[in-house]
Structure 1
Amino acid sequence: MKLNYIDSIRGVAILMVILGHIGQEVRGLSLIPHLLTSYGQMGVQLFFVASAYTLCLSASNRITESHQIKKYAIRRFFRIAPLYYIGLIVYFLFDLSLLWNKNGTFSLPEKYTLINVLSNLFFFHGFYPPANNNIVPGGWSIGTEMAFYVVFPLLFYYFKKWTSGSFGKALLILLVVFIISQLIFVLVYNFMGLLVKNNNFLYYNLVNQISVFCVGIVFFLFEKNTLFTKDWKFDLIVFVALTSISLVLWNCNWLNIFSVIPVLSAISFVFLINIFNKNNKLNLNFLLRIGAVSYSMYIIHFIFLFFSALVSLKFSQFINKNIILVVMYLLTVMVTFVFASISERYIEKPFINIAKKIIHKIH
């Protein structure tokens, strides 16, 4: 069953992510644009919440299916891996071309060690810092997502078993998961002196993001709870309030504050999803289409960010920074969308169909 509001949410998520990355390339933004672009990175957490929700929906619809785990693994692998592997090759060639342009010779970039490449091929780069986010730009989120796929069947099973239809129990389990992650970070700090900082390895790790995914699971199990069935205006108020708190916390210097912001943002996104669910007029065709190709857009857009950075650097002395931000953002989104649509047709869909054929043979 296709849910338009989920595709719309994926569209919002990738638009947020691209905005966040463009904002990093335009220096000297005024306060409000700077805050908005910085918060754009939370689009990844919106992806995570939507991913957990749709996985729960899929698992529930296939509860009587034979060989569930095997088929689940095949679907997830062929949905994510082929495009990621192609991205690895494309960015390797892109890095080679940059070195050629800089030095006039082809040489292997230092980051392409055997262990780094293998870590990305087998998706355990989320647990190996040198390989975490440099072989494929933005690859940290794919590593974290794949790690979540591994534990999802157990998480979903025990959430259903332990909550027994009780929303209060679900919130308690979510709180316990969050506290356990915080205790792990306390141990890491005491023994290794490492903190969770924005966009560092600990921030990217599944330990820090697991609560975000769990928010999506809880939302799926209890979306009929009275908290989520109120008028959409209530959802809007809660979403704005929680987002505002996240933005305030963003500039705090509290220890490990970036282990709190992702889960707080995830909770706010539950109400954003509700807004789109209750207001079909928000599910615009262009947003649905962007959502449908959002994975390809995520993998591809980093190439165009490089050129956006060059343009920003060249014109920043003559044109207002905020204008540069808007122009570069729109251009990057449009060009990325075109290439992502091609990717969806010739890479994503064919491999998804291969997965279907394999599953059919198993059945």
Structure 2
Amino acid sequence: MADSRHQLAFLDGLRGYASLWVLVGHAMFMTGYKIEIIAQPDMAVELFIIISGFLMTYHYQAREVREPWMEPDTWKIFWIRRFFRIAPLYYVCLALALYFGPELWQSRLDAATVLSGGVEEQARYASRYLDQSLTNILLHVSFLFGMTWTHNFQTPLPDWSIGLEMQYYAIFPFLMILALKLGRIAGMALLVGVMAVVGAWLDRNGFVIGAYSILAMKFHLFAAGMLIAMTLRADGKWKWLLVVGAVAVIFVPLGGGRSALHRAIKIAIVLGFVALLYKDRLPALLKWPTEVLDRFLSNAPARFIGDVSYGVYLLHLIVMLPVCGWLAIQFPETAPIPRFFASLALTVPITYGVAYLCYRFIEQPGISLGRKIASRYQKATPPKGIPSENPA
């Protein structure tokens, strides 16, 4: 299995530019200036989901010898690492968002005064900013909010996807055991099928409200990333069957973005991901542009925005809402285009600066603490007799 860090360096850029896409998309929403695809940041979140499915599977496979999939200690190690990667910064941002919710709500109302829908259209979002109830706090602190249709969109943060991720992490070790027992293709086909049936039932019966934060609605995108990672453990026709599977799951009709254009973009993301992963094996016609793209996604700026991508994703609305509200009140006659660029000029440096500080002083210490706690469950020597993965 190829496990060179350089081989995956492009993921820094993918994460970084996806978070920037979310920021820019929300700026378009808040200023009234729109470019069709860029103004839909949910597509960037779907890229995050595919990356997450890939990375979880990639690292789980890479650590299989010293962290066997069937061992409960392996599951504990995985959950501890993921909790301390996600929770520290999330809890800080959650506290800020809940405490300053009323002020952020006023900023959103101010920003809406220059939008075509006006202030009246914003009324349906009020509880997202004003709900400081103990129920809302406990559901978010426990990460259970994503499994509800009442509180999954109930803070000023774009955290519905965080709840979704935590559901995925909760069952991920068992997904890998199923792949071990049934084989990659059979196991993933069963999982995608079951999740699609559950998601369709939830959707049909009115349990999907506010955001697509219930795992069944987006599991097929996690599965696309998982299938791409599994190609690294497969040979010959099995490798390409897994690639075909990663494309096929995009056609599951759940979780938004179901138009032909959205589906084509997601297929392009999957195929581009595979091309970057196997760039050295591409024919000459495709190899050069793929290598150029890889360098663009792997350079120093890309590494920086990749490092701070989680902070940018969580923090940007806390910064952007006051900025857009202030611009709307101070310059009500300004056209959408200059207002959009002014919002970026103010939001981007503040958000990235604060995100960098959070990365240095919250995220990195949290990751280190998680590794330290997880190390208590790690065996000193690799166990013997580890069962090998079933063939696809």
Which category of TM-score, normalised to the shorter sequence, fits these structures? 0.7 to 0.9
Superposed, 1:327-346 pairs within 5 Å as 327-346=342-361
Q: Distance in 2 between matches of 1:182 and 1:259?
A: 15
* Residue 304 of structure 2: aligned partner: 289
Please state how far the C-alpha of 1:122 moved relative to its aligned partner: 0.6
Q: What TM-score comes out, normalization by structure 2 length? A: 0.71
Match of 1:135 among 142, 146, 155: 155
1:68 equivalent to 2:88? Answer no
User: Could you give the per-residue CA deviations for residues 123-176 of structure 1, whole angstroms, max 9, x where no partner exists?
Assistant: 000122332122351111100000000111122232344345x5xx57744762
Please state how far the C-alpha of 1:39 moved relative to its aligned partner: 2.7
* Residue 37 of structure 1: aligned partner: 38
SS of match in other structure, 1:130? coil
* Residue 268 of structure 2: aligned partner: 268
Say whether the 8 Å CA contact 1:14–1:43 is kept in structure 2. yes
User: Which of 5-14 and 261-270 deviates more?
Assistant: 261-270
Q: Distance in 2 between matches of 1:267 and 1:341?
A: 32
Say whether the 8 Å CA contact 1:26–1:312 is kept in structure 2. no
Identity %: 25
Superposed, 1:22-171 pairs within 5 Å as 22-29=27-34, 33=35, 35-66=36-67, 67-95=73-101, 97=103, 110-164=130-184, 169=186
Say whether the 8 Å CA contact 2:107–2:322 is kept in structure 1. no
User: Could you give the per-residue CA deviations for residues 289-342 of structure 1, whole angstroms, max 9, x where no partner exists?
Assistant: 1011111111111112203322552446234x2343234235423321111110
Match of 1:258 among 253, 256, 259: 256
Say whether the 8 Å CA contact 1:126–1:143 is kept in structure 2. yes
Note the aligned Cα RMSD (angstroms): 3.5
Q: Distance in 1 between matches of 2:316 and 2:237?
A: 37
Superposed, 1:178-193 pairs within 5 Å as 179-181=196-198, 183-185=200-202, 188-189=203-204, 192=205
**Structure 2: where are the runs of 5+ without partners?**
68-72, 109-128, 241-246, 280-290, 379-392
Q: Distance in 2 between matches of 1:340 and 1:306?
A: 16
Distance 1:208 1:268, change over 3 A: farther
SS of match in other structure, 1:204? coil
Q: Distance in 1 between matches of 2:55 and 2:377?
A: 23
The amino acid that maps onto 2:231 is F
* Residue 230 of structure 2: aligned partner: 221
The amino acid that maps onto 2:97 is Y
Q: Distance in 2 between matches of 1:123 and 1:307?
A: 27
Distance 1:150 1:219, change over 3 A: same
Deviation beyond 6 Å, 4+ runs, structure 1:
99-102, 224-230
Distance 1:284 1:150, change over 3 A: same
Match of 2:362 among 347, 351, 359: 347
The amino acid that maps onto 1:50 is I
* Residue 249 of structure 1: aligned partner: none
User: Could you give the per-residue CA deviations for residues 247-287 of structure 1, whole angstroms, max 9, x where no partner exists?
Assistant: xxxxxxxx978274687654432223245543232223212
Q: Distance in 1 between matches of 2:104 and 2:255?
A: 36
**Structure 1: where are the runs of 5+ without partners?**
103-108, 231-238, 247-254
Name the count of aligned residue pairs: 323
Distance 1:265 1:150, change over 3 A: farther
Please state how far the C-alpha of 1:84 moved relative to its aligned partner: 0.9
